[in-house]
Amino acid sequence: MYSRKKPIEELPQEETAIWQCVSDDCIGWMRDDFSFEAVPTCYLCSSPMVSATRMLPALVNTTKMRKI
């Protein structure tokens, strides 16, 4: 049977700096480029966050805000 859907193309992945929650019960994380603080707190549980890396699709943040 013929399908009109275009095949989904693979997005290029790169090693990305992130912040992840230290709480074992929480799965919160955010990209470092999109955080507003130098050391953010978790937006889900308000616990501290630690720096880490993940393989994520490449995104470009054109807004270069200074972190508080």
Q: Is residue 5 situated within a structural domain?
A: no
Q: Is residue 2 situated within a structural domain?
A: no
Q: Is residue 66 situated within a structural domain?
A: no
Amino acid occupying residue 67: K
Q: How far apart (Å, rounded) are the C-alpha atoms in residues 16 and 53?
A: 5
Per-residue pLDDT for 66 more than 80?
no
Amino acid occupying residue 43: Y
- 50 versus 64: the higher-pLDDT residue is 50
Q: Is residue 64 situated within a structural domain?
A: no
Per residue in 36-54, pLDDT tens? 888 899 999 999 999 999 9
Q: Can you read off the two tokens belonging to residue 36?
A: 């507003």
Q: How far apart (Å, rounded) are the C-alpha atoms in residues 47 and 40?
A: 9
Q: Is residue 36 situated within a structural domain?
A: yes
pLDDT category of residue 65 using cuts at 50, 70 and 90:
low
Instruction: Quickly tell me which residue has 């470009």 as its tokens.
Output: 60
Question: Residue 19 sits in which domain range?
Answer: 13-55
Q: Is residue 23 situated within a structural domain?
A: yes
Q: Is residue 46 situated within a structural domain?
A: yes
Q: Is residue 39 situated within a structural domain?
A: yes
> Could you tell me if residue 63 is left (phi over 0), alpha (psi between -120 and 50 degrees) or otherwise beta?
beta
